[in-house]
Structure 1
Amino acid sequence: MSFEIEVDFCPAYELVNSLNAYLSKQDRKSIDLGKRWYDEVSQTLTAEFKAYLGDLKPDMTKGLEHLIYSCPGKRSEQSFLKWMDDQSFQNIYDILQPYDTKILNTLKERIHDWEFVLKEWHKQYFSKIDSRILIGLEQKAAQIKNDSKLYSPEEVFEEVTNGMRQSPNDKLKTIRLIPQYHLSPINRSHYYQNYEEMFVCFFACDVIPLKAGEPSPRLMRKMRCLSEEMRMKLLYYMSVQERTFNELLNYSGLAKSTLHHHLVVLRGAGLISLEISEPNNKYFLRADAIHQLTAELGDFFLLQEASK
């Protein structure tokens, strides 16, 4: 049985994604915004708020995607925060209970953090972001909605996520796709403890228009990947056949965290596919992405030549 694609976007999602980008130390090396963005944002935050953020648990935003989805209206960051203020503890509990009972044990503490942190993050950072980000994400959502009418759910999911594959199964009914900018090129996806019918994926988008003579982020990610010897070796190993994480671990001799970082970078560049399967996910080379690289380089240099 195949799944359905549901595309959703509102500014409140990016409010949370931008906070995740700031809080996630492990992703700082992998996202395009990187440490420079983190340092620049840190300089604009008050000392008290930075200290508060430093004490938060990494998963503090878990569950917010379901509250945002349940919020009525256009779900701007302000309207979502107002709506959440108006909800009783029991209402929030009932919304989250079907998905993951683990977070319910600390729900009161989470709600306290959510109410304070999201308001302050919006005040001190998110309200000042480039307006083109939210406009671009809304346009991307509209484009994917249109594509979902023309292509199969499997094709849309793989294209949007730059290589993730999800085989249909008897349990999964819906994949909810939400465009995001701040964590690009990472695609963040969530399976839920008690709700196997839903898979939520925040997919990466490049939404800031390029300046004249500027290579695309997509092209630069590929070039950076191919300049690293171990990634070239991993690509070669995956070009022969599909590989599990443990097979890649044994082949490379790397620590798990180091291998994970390499795979995140390779996936972000669109050079490998990830097939979500039980009991082990599988990775393999996206041959089309390698073939397209020559064309992308040619298009870039020809465009510069034509502009002279």
Structure 2
Amino acid sequence: MNLLNTSFERVSYSVQIKTSLLFECALGIAMITYPKLHDRLEMTRVELDELKTGLSSELKAELDYCQEHNTWKMLLQLLHFKDFSSPLEFYQFLRSLSESELKYYALPFVDIMQENNRLAASKGDKKAENDLVLSCKGHAFFPQMIHFVCSSRQSELLNHLQAILDGWYNEVILPKREWTGGVLERDAREKQRISQLESPHKTVLKAAGIDYKPEQGIADVILIPHVAYRPWTIQADLPAAKVFYYPVSDSSLMKSKDPFEPSGQLVQKLKAIGDEKRLRILKLLVKKELTLKEVTALVGMGKTTVHHHLTLLKAAGLVHVKGSVYKAAGDSMKGIEKEIFTFLHKET
């Protein structure tokens, strides 16, 4: 068959870098209500238990409700409506919405082909609701979340979203607001500098560790740094945009100019390669791109353990992932000897 292709194929995308304590709130809520990952966070079990113990009974009740219905995802969707300057501004926005508007923004974006169903479902159309559910049948929680949003009373949804964000903001964010805000701002500035020097593709790669290539319908990639969910990158979809909530770099966590204190990036690399199992995995990936299943079979370890090692290698910038395929970062180890030499011989 002869084909004359006159379609537009996207070869790039623009990168936006945003930072907000409200996104940090929503991601902290997401983290605390997903216990399956609690053993694979940078936060230790002791730190996690101390955090949970210190929460009020009212916030714990809202978190239980969130865990059952995945309302953290609704918060994230709603927070993308505009750049909110404070929790109060966000609450005022929520209260200004009609019932159908609130449900529309709370329903997950599946893909552009389902936007009519998303809109109709938010207005009470049962067929549209069921069609939307069927379109994401294989998703871990979208079907249940869609039914929950569509069947919820506006007042119940509003009160919960405000209560859980307000509780987490006041009890977890405010006590460390200056430190957390400083870390997020430093990291956003760091990524802005990278974006001015590198292509959008390399900016996403360096920030999120994701080898994200341009795809049809995606004009923008939004990068949002977080502390709460380190070392995980969370991916989400919006109309015409891809979102990566990525872990701040170690260097952003460190404010000290102490000449005897190595850079966070150097320490993270050395920790990542200072383990024989991770070195073995890295060598395998230098030789060939592999899926998690393939790496697991080759190293003879459990899937959860291998995934943990890959996450640490990815956080150090030594491994990239595209879809389900992992590969070694081509230039990740170049210059590490020079980095070590420079640090050791830096004037004090």
TM-score computed with the length of structure 1 as normaliser: 0.83
Partner of 2:265: 218
* Cα distance between partner residues in 1 of 2:297 and 2:73: 33
Look up the equivalent residue of 1:104 and give its one-letter code: I
Partner of 2:254: 209
Deviates more, 1:205-214 or 1:122-131: 205-214
SS, match of residue 291 in structure 1: coil
Counterpart CA distance in 1 for 2:263 and 2:177 is 18
Identity of aligned residues (%): 20
Residue type of the partner of 1:266? L
Pick the aligned partner of 1:15 from 22, 25, 47. 25
Taking a change above 3 Å as real, the CA distance of residues 136 and 230 of structure 1, as seen in their structure-2 partners, is closer
1:77–1:139 Cα change, 3 Å: farther
Distance change in 2, residues 1:232/1:198 (3 Å):
same
Q: Relative to 1, partners in 2 of residues 1:245 and 1:21: Cα closer, same or farther, differing over 3 Å?
A: same
How far 1:286 sits from its partner (Å)? 1.8
Partner of 1:300: 343
- Cα gap change, 1:98 to 1:133, in 2 (>3 Å): closer
Give ranges in structure 1 of 5+ residues lacking alignment.
none
Partner residue of 2:72 out of 58, 61, 69? 61
Deviation (angstroms), 1:67:
0.8
1:181 matched residue in structure 2 = 227
The Cα shift of 1:149 comes to: 4.8
* Cα distance change, pair 220–111 in 1 and its aligned pair in 2 (3 A): farther
For the residue of structure 2 that corresponds to 1:13, the secondary structure is helix
CA separation of 1:288 and 1:146: change in aligned 2, threshold 3 A: closer
Distance 1:214 1:151, change over 3 A: closer
Mapped to 1, the partners of 2:230 and 2:263 lie a distance apart of: 13
2:325 aligns with: 282
Moved more, 76-85 or 231-240: 76-85
Q: Following TM superposition, where does structure 1 have runs of at least 4 consecutive aligned residues deviating by more than 4 angstroms?
A: 109-112
- Paired residue type of 2:344: F
- Alignment of 1:92 onto 2:102: yes
* Rg larger in structure: 2
Shift of 1:261: 1.7
**CA–CA distance in structure 1, aligned partners of residues 30 and 339 of structure 2:** 31
Give 1:106 deviation, angstroms. Answer: 1.1
Tell me how far 1:112 sits from its aligned partner: 4.8
CA offsets 1:211-246 (integer angstroms, 9 cap, x no match): 433334333332332232221111111011211223
Write the distance in 2 (CA, Å) between the matches of 1:44 and 1:203. Answer: 26
Structure 2 runs not aligned, ≥5 long: 1-9, 111-131, 133-141
Indicate the SS of the match to 1:270. Answer: coil
> Under a length normalisation based on structure 2, what TM-score does the superposition of the two structures give?
0.74
How far the C-alpha of 1:202 sits from its partner, in A, is 0.8
Distance 1:155 1:20 in 2: 28
* SS of alignment partner, residue 242 of structure 2: strand
Q: Is the 8 A contact 2:74 2:108 kept in 1?
A: no
Shift of 1:98: 6.6
Cα shift at 1:201: 0.3
Q: Distance in 2 between matches of 1:91 and 1:54?
A: 25
**CA deviation map 1:75-101 (0-9, x unaligned):** 323322343244333222222447045
Kindly indicate whether the alpha-carbon contact (under 8 Å) linking 1:68 and 1:75 is maintained by their aligned counterparts in 2. Answer: no
Which residue does 1:28 correspond to in 2? Answer: 38
